Amino acid sequence: MADMENNPAFVKEFQVRFDKKLKENEISVLEYWKSQIDRLLSMKPDGIASLQSQIKRVSDMMDNRIRTMKKE
């Protein structure tokens, strides 16, 4: 195992796979939050208070996710 870690080709391949996975995860997260914002855009709120309430809900969801990720 130590021999593989010292192999530059192994390290490069591992880095490429890691970067690809990181990019896929970031895209997934952005797609999720974009869907939340798109849902807000498609709403026909009764007034500003209703829209603010929905924006607050999404903001709270984001805050909760951030706190969860910081604990891990």
- Region 63-70: mean pLDDT is 90
Sort residue 42 into left (φ over 0), alpha (ψ -120 to 50) or beta. alpha
Residue 45's CB is within 10 A of a number of other CB atoms, namely: 13
Rounded-to-integer distance, Cα 31 and Cα 56, Å: 19
Domain boundaries, the chain: 2-71
Q: pLDDT digits over 21-38, tens only?
A: 999 999 999 999 999 999
| pLDDT score recorded for residue 2 | 56
The pTM for the full model equals 0.69
What count of Cα atoms within 13 Å lies in the side-chain half-sphere of residue 38? 6
| pLDDT score recorded for residue 45 | 78
Position of tokens 């895209």? 27
Rounded-to-integer distance, Cα 50 and Cα 4, Å: 58
